[in-house]
Amino acid sequence: MKRVLPLLLALLLLAGCTKKIETQYYMMDTVMTFTLYGENAKEAERALSDRVAALEKVFSPTDAESELVTVNRAAGTSVQVSEDFASLLDACLAANTETEGAFDPTLGAVIDLWNKETVPSAEELSQCKVGCDAVRLEGTSLQTETGIELNFGAAAKGYASDCAKEILEENGIEHALLSLGGNVYAHGGKPNGEPWMVGVRDPNGDASEWLGVVQIKDGFLIASGDYERYFEQNGFRYHHILDPLIRTPAMSDLRECVIIGENGTRGDILSTALFVMGYDRAVEYWREHRDFEMILVREDNAVLVTEGISSAFTLTGEEYTLEVIE
């Protein structure tokens, strides 16, 4: 008996250390699942979900009271924006230059047209005002030209995942896996020391089907694809990732683009931008930067994985072939 009691206490203490909390929400127009382990799991989860809910109030394109909708309504004047707004807009404007226009936060009016789920006319599309040169941001002072409509749909979840990471760190959480729709943040691996296993969506399957799995301890894994949101008209699929140059769904030879890296905002931006660029330009972009990893699924069912992530990736989809990008 004497021996058992300390052991029992130790087990209880251990159980206390690995407190687990798992929650699910519908926020930012997607299903989010948060799994956190640690003494502070409950408090951290609360802070985290509150923060994401607050960010939704900033970046929602549909909530009539969001900061984004308010700012868009004031286009043509000068306004003060929040730190979060300025910070994400700043990253988006830089990304517009860096991706040579493949990513564009001023596509709002064009996005609204396509969201009606019927093909807009060329005239309607050309009447939309688009262009980062019509946006001036200095600190938190923003000046846009009349007609400019900002949209952060391709970056806000990534920004939210960066904020989530900060909250996990502030609360001393050692192990967590957060899924904000197609944006996953892995934190500290599993409590048993193994990496998290994150699935890569099969663009030919439904939402529960994977073509492969990535083992990841720490980092962001962010996917964009033509399977996520689309409508069909006359037998043609119109997906939601737009080529800013022609203002229509990108005629990409990619079905899916997954970015793995250390920054959620950048990962979200690049998953969209590299999809728009298509295979050749995406590989060229990666070779120029090499500070992130990627998994590309091409329309010919080739899965192309950059060398840094290839040993952590397992292909399971039988109809696909695997190649390594060097």
Q: Is 242 in the site for ligand ADP (CB under 6 A)?
A: yes
Q: Is 261 in the site for ligand ADP (CB under 6 A)?
A: no
| Distance from C-alpha of 168 to C-alpha of 204, rounded to nearest angstrom | 34
Q: Is 106 in the site for ligand ADP (CB under 6 A)?
A: no
- Contact residues for 44 (Cβ-Cβ < 8 A; gap 6+): 36, 38, 167, 168, 171, 173
Whichever of 35 and 271 has its CB closer to Mg ion, that residue is 271
Q: Is 264 in the site for ligand ADP (CB under 6 A)?
A: no
As measured in angstroms, the least distance from the Cβ of 109 to Mg ion is 19
Whichever of 4 and 251 has its CB closer to ligand ADP, that residue is 251
- Contact residues for 102 (Cβ-Cβ < 8 A; gap 6+): 243, 244, 272, 273, 274, 276, 277, 281
Give the DSSP per-residue string, 157-221.
HHHHHHHHHHHHHHTT--EEEEEETTEEEEES--TTSPPEEEEEE-TTS-TT-EEEEEEESSEEE
Count of residues of this chain found to bind ligand ADP when the rule CB under 6 A is applied: 22
Largest Cα–Cα distance in the chain?
A: 84
Q: Is 111 in the site for ligand ADP (CB under 6 A)?
A: yes
| Distance from C-alpha of 130 to C-alpha of 134, rounded to nearest angstrom | 8
Whichever of 89 and 276 has its CB closer to ligand ADP, that residue is 276
At residue 154's C-alpha, the angle toward residues 149 and 159, to 5°, is 105
User: Which residues would be at the binding site for Mg ion (CB under 5 A)?
Assistant: 154, 224, 268, 271-272
As measured in angstroms, the least distance from the Cβ of 321 to Mg ion is 26
Which listed residue (72, 151, 161, 171) binds ligand ADP by CB under 6 A? 151
Q: Is 104 in the site for ligand ADP (CB under 6 A)?
A: yes
Q: Is 228 in the site for ligand ADP (CB under 6 A)?
A: yes
Q: Is 263 in the site for ligand ADP (CB under 6 A)?
A: no
> Among residues 317, 220, 218, which one has the least CA distance to residue 264?
220
- Closest-by-Cβ residue to ligand ADP is 153
As measured in angstroms, the least distance from the Cβ of 243 to Mg ion is 14
Which residue shows structure tokens 């707004």? 85
Q: Is 265 in the site for ligand ADP (CB under 6 A)?
A: no
Q: Give the footprint of ligand ADP on this chain (CB under 6 A).
A: 103-105, 107, 111, 151, 153-154, 157, 181-182, 224, 228-229, 240-242, 244, 268, 271-272, 276
